[in-house]
Amino acid sequence: MELLQVQEDSEMWIAYVDYVDEMVVDGLFTTIQCSLKFLLDNTSPRTEPASLFEAVLELQVIVQPTFLDYITEWQVHYDLFTQPC
């Protein structure tokens, strides 16, 4: 510690080293936590990317009876009402 002209066993130096060590350890833990959160957010299968467009498929079934269907239905009703009891 000749460059800094500090005695390694002085109380002020030990307090300074502890303070800097704590700052470095906190920074490391914060960096690791941010990195793990980033990985979790970007690799989680539960997250779905926001869609720009949404497609909706709507099925409409239109049944148009033929002329023969009308005649057959009319004939059934006619037969029901015209037959003697």
Binning pLDDT at 50, 70 and 90, where does residue 78 land?
Answer: low
Distance CA 39, CA 47 (A): 12
**pLDDT of residue 16 exceeding 70:** yes
- Total-model pTM: 0.46
Binning pLDDT at 50, 70 and 90, where does residue 26 land?
Answer: very high
Render pLDDT for 41-72 as a digit per residue (tens, 0 to 9). Answer: 877 676 566 667 777 877 777 766 666 666 66
Closest of 10, 30, 32, 33 to residue 22, by C-alpha? 30
